[in-house]
Amino acid sequence: MARRWLILADDLTGAADCAIAFARRGATACVQWGEAGPGADEAVLSHDADSRQLGPDAAAARHAALAERLHDPDRAVFKKIDSTLRGQPAAELAATLAVLRRRTGGAFAILAPAFPATGRTTEDGRIRVAGRPLAETELWRRDHTYPTDALPAMLDGAGLTSATIPLATVRAGGEALRAALHAASQAFAVAVLDAVDDDDLARIARAGLALDAAGLAWVGSAGLAHALAAADAPSP
């Protein structure tokens, strides 16, 4: 039986893109914003926090309030972030994990921001756009929040411990990948995973869904949402 999901996004497009990923696999889904509450009957509840243009403190506060109001232990949590790190993904994730920690006694995140279908990949803990380091692109020059595109440094700036899982471990899959994720979960760290193609995201989704980790939050773009929807879809 497929899981129920709570998606927290920083803009309406992201909320819709992730909801659609699950809807295409047969899940009922709704997209909401503002003061809408947790009572939706749909399997996937996707909420637009409308925080993309906020500063880190305000974005964190908004996500904390939403997580407090919408978190349901029967729903897996997906924190949607921009694949080029626009907005305040680190502050928002830290606030979300703090709520999960209070609710469940522990908190752990799987961060895989790659979106290969749009040319965004992750290698050595850094995002690339069409093969180029994100920090060397016009996208970064035009709109960036952080002094570096290194994901561990971004997380550290928000007080989050991380563990980078390289592409070789992702592609080994199976027990090797599950063991790396389990180790990160035991340390309550954010697992930063490399991914270059959709098969990499599929391996990450399968390995993470096999974990029994309290307070787990998935973090990524619509690319990871599609991988999770495919891995979690009911068997025909």
| Count of the separate structural domains present in the chain | 1
Tokens of 23: 């809807």
The CATH number linked to 218 is: 3.40.50.10840
| Residues 168-218: tens digit of each pLDDT | 999 999 999 999 999 999 998 999 999 999 999 999 999 999 987 778 999
Sheet (strand 4-9) strand order: 29-33, 44-48, 4-9, 75-80, 216-220, 108-112, 190-193, 162-165
The predicted pLDDT at position 104 comes to 87
Angle 33-36-74 from CA coordinates, rounded to 5°: 105
Residue 232: the pLDDT is: 86
Note the pLDDT of residue 76.
94
Q: 6: closest CA among 85, 86, 99? A: 99
Q: What is the pTM of this model?
A: 0.95
Nearest 5°: CA angle at 186, between 8 and 165?
Answer: 70
What pLDDT shows up at residue 236? 54
Residue ranges in the chain whose pLDDT is less than 70:
1, 39, 234-236
Residue 234: the pLDDT is: 67
pLDDT at 21: 96
pLDDT of residue 235: 58
Tell me the three-class secondary structure of 18-73, residue by residue: HHHHHHCCCCCEEEEECCCCCCCCCCEEEEECCCCCCCHHHHHHHHHHHHHHHCCC
In b/e form, how buried is each residue of 94-126, taking b as 16+ CB within 10 angstroms?
bbbbbbbeebeeebbbbbbbbbbeeebbbeebb
- Per-residue pLDDT, 3: 86
Give the domain extent around 120: 4-232
Residue type, position 233, single letter: A
Q: Nearest CA to 182 among 163, 156, 201?
A: 163
